[in-house]
Structure 1
Amino acid sequence: MHKINPILSVFATLLLFVVACSQKSNHDKLPRIGIAGIAIESSTFSPAVSEMDAFRVSRGKEIFNLYPFFSEDSTNRKRANWLPALYARAIPGGAVTRETYESLVTEMLDSLRKNLPYDGLFLDIHGAMSVVGLDDPEGDMIMRIREVIGTETVISTSMDLHGSVSPRLAKHTDLITCYRLAPHEDAMESKKRTVDNLLGRLEKGMGKPAYKAWIAVPILLPGEKTSTRIDPAKSLYAKVAPAAAQEGITDAGIWIGYAWADEPRNQAYVMVTGDDGELVKKTAAELAKSFWDVRHEFDFIAPTATLEESLNKAISSDKRPFMISDMGDNPTAGGAGDVTWTLNEILKRPEFKSADGPSLIYASIPGPEFVEEAIAAGIGRKVEGYVGAAVDSRFSPPIFLSGTITSIVEGDQHAVAEVVVKRGSVSVIVTKKRKPYHLESDFTRLDLNPRQTDIVVVKIGYLVPELYDMRGDWIMALTPGGVDQDLERMEFKRINRPMFPFDRDMENPDLNPKLIPLSHEK
């Protein structure tokens, strides 16, 4: 055996100690960045309310699992000392109860206090949260965050383009970005850009951008008229990336806004940040003017019709699946998700009374008691009971549904439990809790084959990518609900006026950019 030279052994130990100290020193030099946020899109025209059980709450290090760019071996994970606090997200719904909002914000602030101080904060929000009795919740939230972390911390905010940028939110954030695609295929890319912008400025010692130009554009349109799949939104949003790539600009964004909340902040916005003041203002003005100039060109991105006309067209079509969007109660836009009007009309149609009629999948309707009875009875058994309209019964009462159970699946994070009941040629998906159906696997896991089904009716607006690619044909039905597409027949009382399209002949607005004070300035 070879003896270890004691001098070499001591040297090796010292070397390891130096390396460890160096690593610790380098880690200590990394910026300290918090992660927090509350995200929901909520309609004030729906009788539904969103309580704590609507939110999926992530705390501490489990927040990393929500973002692929924060994986253990990612470059971004190594560029900062990350201090995740709380992130809560819910599928769109009704206004958040004040108790739920206060509980989430209080826990978030308490968690942020534990790791003070911060060089930066990644704030991930939607921007269209409504809270009972509170205007501009995101503005309220960021102001309260500032009271905890101070005004010197650089806040980089990620938003959905269907959010609203109130003056209060614009002031208290330093970097701000939003999605550039609808459907939001660039959601994670946009969040990563939010983080990269923050890291880049902190690592270069640049801190906050010197200028923030903000423009409120008096336009309020639904997403179904502003999808970036087609013009004018496609061409409009194609201008954003080049605008943001200019030297002296940090980021640029166009917010379409959220159409189903009656609050003064709800409208479109343009915001540009950067260090070249004149270029920041010029870029914001150009984007705002481009938006205003095409306002009359926005229209539904697919054919629309009444439900009766939509069903007639689907039944006579030889294309499958023929997709029908049940738009008025779309839970992905904030609808209650339990309006029975459309399903009731479908079940009344003689074409679907017998099993050999046109096959139709209806996705979906909540009916917790029905689901419990179906689970107890089992597949192949007949079950009957009431479904839907427990929350929103304004347009149609609960439906007495009877039929044979063909599938039962439990454990879904949104629906909790799902059953398929066959009545005539219609397969109705009944859920314990409301759930939007976006993916082919949402159907196949229930032993349904949407590609081989004549008609698929989904509570949705524009089709998300997977359904869009699957469609044989598609029409959007103008149905009633908390996210009615006919905005002009809804009772808006608090939005700013004049507003397009409510005031079509309004004079051209003032679209000169306003420079928002930096977060540490009064």
Structure 2
Amino acid sequence: MYYKTFFYFILLSVFFSCNISLKKPKIAIAGLAIESSTFSPAKTIEEDFKARVDEEVFTYYPFLNKDSINRKRANWIPTIRGHALPGGIVTKEAYNSLVKKTLKKLEENLPYDGLFFDIHGAMSVEGIDDPEGDFIKKVREVVGYKTLISTSMDLHGNVSHELAKESDLITCYRMAPHEDAIESKRRAVTNLLERLENGKGKPLFKSRIVVPILLPGEKTSTRIEPGKSLYKKVDPETKKKGITDAGIWMGYPWADEPRNHGVVVVTGDNKEQVKKSSEYLAQSFWNVRNDFEFVAPVGTLEESLELAIKSDHKPYLISDMGDNPTAGGAGDVTWTLNKLLDRNEFKSSTGPTLVYASIPGPKLINRAKNLNVGDYIEGYVGAEIDNRYSPPILLKGFIKSIKKGDVNAKTEIVIQRGSIKIIVTEKRKPYHYLKDFTDLGIDPRSEDIIVVKIGYLVPELYNINKGWIMALTPGGVDQDLFRLDYKRIKRPMFPIDKFETDPNLDAVFVPLSNN
């Protein structure tokens, strides 16, 4: 009888242990992503985030499609994930509304084993210095501290003490341009799943080291040195025993906030190795500070145009950097376009062909809706939001093409003025892909010069350029940081200040989220 009872006890133990091990974790998804320039007069409102809700959230993540392994490893509860084009500061009303809606969604399906917190890290909000830290704190108040939170970020984001503390796992991109964005988000999810499945839970140690460097992405690209070698040091550290993940954050230079600076964060279960890895990466970052240079030649707009016009290599690309909408510029600064229209070389249709991408002109677009290709049109464009450098332009010309229904621009038209094709949009839009041009009847490869509101070239444009220069133009994301009126960032800060002695780059351990 004793042996029979013992046998049944063993069977029951095996049964329950198997069921426990096979139980899928319940994981929520939430996040808001934007880069917000406090040096731009633009404001970002709720509709700009184009928030995806519930099942629609999965469309952001190919590694969580219906048949994927990761999708099957957990019971996923997508809530709200908003992603806005970089722009001006987010209104308090928009932030409060989106956060409130997210928290309400989270409350509907409590409790959670984990939460995938997908953010950028450079959101600025009216009256809040650390929006992501504020957001994750509010999330914690709903989900509690038993929930494991894995945070995924852009390397140009900012990691405050609060964000580091409330995140149990945290990672960021390792490439700029961000060709590894999806892979980095997958890593954040994989780390979360593994820590839940193996029962290890929260890593025991987190080291966050402030590196007093603040540089634009155009100087820290991983295409060239020293960024290339610096970021190659990250992955080997994650392979060391006792390390869960590691990251180097460059920070966001166009917001005047105390949290904006370089940061290294390393997580893991071995305190000594976490310390060594974080100090090694932080010191490596500091050691190469003087080696960071622009990823391409730079010059004034006049110098850039002279090179482009004289070049035998076509297309020659010019980055109109100061008003780059993908860094936080308003996108409607007319300074560069005014200069182009004043140049004699482009006043005749037989001059060098030039494409300008782009300038918002909602009033002109409204007129164009009643016209056809080939019709003459005139009206004001640009400087409705940022008129600090140049006034609106009275644009006159013939319509070359019209396209409706773009997710960002809404409606786009191309106007021919002399030898310049000017892309006018209803709402601002970045032009990063060949399709952005070919959909408008423009073949970028056959043009002499292409001027784009952008910083470093994204892959498709980079691959077609036969010559490239970055123009130091004015705007809300001015690449000349010495022209920005910083008042609130931590000082001293490289390269703005001189350092008499090297900063303290010793590991600083952040308390676990439940402490």
Instruction: Give me the TM-score of the superposition, normalised by structure 1.
Output: 0.94
Question: Of 359, 378, 381, which residue of structure 1 is paired with 2:375?
Answer: 381
Aligned partner of 2:203 in structure 1 is 209
Quick check: 1:160 aligned with 2:147? no
CA distance 1:139–1:356, shift in 2 (3 Å): same
The one of 425, 431, 437 equivalent to 1:431 is: 425
Distance 2:339 2:95 in 1: 37
Q: What is the correspondence of 1:59-208 to structure 2 with a 5 Å cutoff?
A: 59-208=53-202
**Which letter does structure 2 place at the counterpart of 1:284?**
S
Which among 320, 325, 332 is matched to residue 338 of structure 1? 332
CA offset digits 1:313-368 (Å, max 9, x no partner): 10011111100000000000000000000000000000000101000000000001
Shift of 1:52: 1.3
For 2:442 and 2:361, the matched residues in 1 are separated by 19
4+ runs deviating over 4 angstroms: 25-28
Q: Equivalent of 2:344, from 337, 341, 350? A: 350
- Quote the offset at 1:26 in angstroms: 8.4
Deviation at 1:238, TM superposition (A): 0.5
Indicate conservation of the 8 Å contact 2:492/2:499, yes or no.
no
* Letter of the structure 2 residue corresponding to residue 173 of structure 1: S
CA contact (8 A) 2:169 2:202 kept: yes
CA distance in 2, matches of 1:187, 1:507: 36
Of 283, 289, 304, 1:289 maps to: 283
Amino acid at match of 2:263: Y
Distance of 1:341 and 1:507 partners within structure 2: 41
Structure 2, unaligned runs of 5 or more: 1-15
Residues 412 and 375 (structure 1), Cα distance of their counterparts in 2 relative to 1, 3 Å cut: same
| CA distance in structure 2 between the partners assigned to 1:355 and 1:431 by the alignment | 23
Distance change (3 Å), C-alpha of 1:347 and 1:27: farther
Tell me which residue corresponds to 1:253. Answer: 247
- Return the alpha-carbon distance in structure 1 between the equivalents of residues 80 and 21 of structure 2: 23
Q: Which among 28, 52, 58 is matched to residue 34 of structure 1? A: 28
> Deviations for 1:17-50, whole angstroms, at most 9, x for unmatched residues?
xxxxx9xx78982101000000001100000010
Runs of at least 5 residues in structure 1 that lack an aligned partner in the other structure:
1-21
Which residue is 2:48 aligned to?
54
1:410 to 378, 392, 404: 404
Residues 1:485 and 1:26: Cα distance change in structure 2 (over 3 Å): same
Structure 1 residues 418-497: aligned runs within 5 Å: 418-497=412-491
Cα distance change on mapping 1:28 and 1:145 into 2, 3 Å: farther
Give the conservation status (yes or no) of the 8 Å contact 1:498–1:506: no
Alignment partners' CA distance in 2, 1:375 and 1:78: 48
The corresponding residue for 1:390 is 384
- Please point out which of 488, 502, 508 is paired with 1:508: 502
1:371/1:430 contact within 8 Å kept:
yes
Aligned to 2:10: none
Three-state SS of the structure 2 residue aligned to 1:339 is: coil
Query: Post-superposition shift, 1:120?
Result: 0.3
Equivalent residue of 2:281, what SS?
helix
Q: Secondary structure at the match of 2:202?
A: coil
Opposite residue 499 of structure 1, the aligned amino acid is M
- The answer as to 2:358 corresponding to 1:364 is yes
Alpha-carbon distance between aligned partners in 2 of 1:114 and 1:486, rounded to the nearest angstrom:
47
Distance in 2, matches of 1:222 and 1:326, equals: 15
d(CA) in 2 for partners of 1:427 and 1:244? 49
Q: Which amino acid aligns with 2:318?
A: I
Q: Are the counterparts in 1 of residues 352 and 449 from structure 2 also a CA contact under 8 Å?
A: yes
Instruction: Report the Cα offset of residue 251 of structure 1.
Output: 0.3
| Corresponding position of 1:19 | none
Cα offset, 1:53, TM superposition: 2.1
Work out the CA distance in 1 between the residues paired with 2:20 and 2:461. Answer: 48
Q: What residue is the counterpart of 1:15 in the other structure? A: none
- The residue aligned with 2:12 is none
The one-letter code sitting in structure 1 at the alignment partner of 2:311 is S
Q: Determine the structure 2 residue equivalent to 1:17.
A: none
1:4 alignment partner in structure 2: none
**Match in the other structure for 1:222:** 216
- Partner-residue secondary structure (3-state), 2:370: helix
Which of 260, 266, 273 in structure 2 is aligned with 1:266? 260
Residues 31 and 202 in structure 1, CA contact (< 8 A), matched pair in contact too: yes
The answer to whether the Cα contact below 8 Å between 1:27 and 1:81 also exists between their aligned partners in 2 is no
Q: How many Å apart are 1:439 and its aligned residue?
A: 0.2
Measured after TM superposition, the shift of residue 506 of structure 1 is: 3.7
- The C-alpha deviation readout for 1:431-458, integer Å capped at 9, x for no partner, is 0000000000000000001100000000
* One-letter code aligned to 1:336: A
- Report Cα offsets for 1:205-259 as digits up to 9, x if no partner: 0100000011010000000100000000100000001111112100000000000
Instruction: State the match for 1:233 in structure 2.
Output: 227
TM-score (norm: length of structure 2): 0.96
The code of the aligned residue for 1:246 comes to K
Q: How far has the Cα of 1:505 moved from its partner? A: 3.4
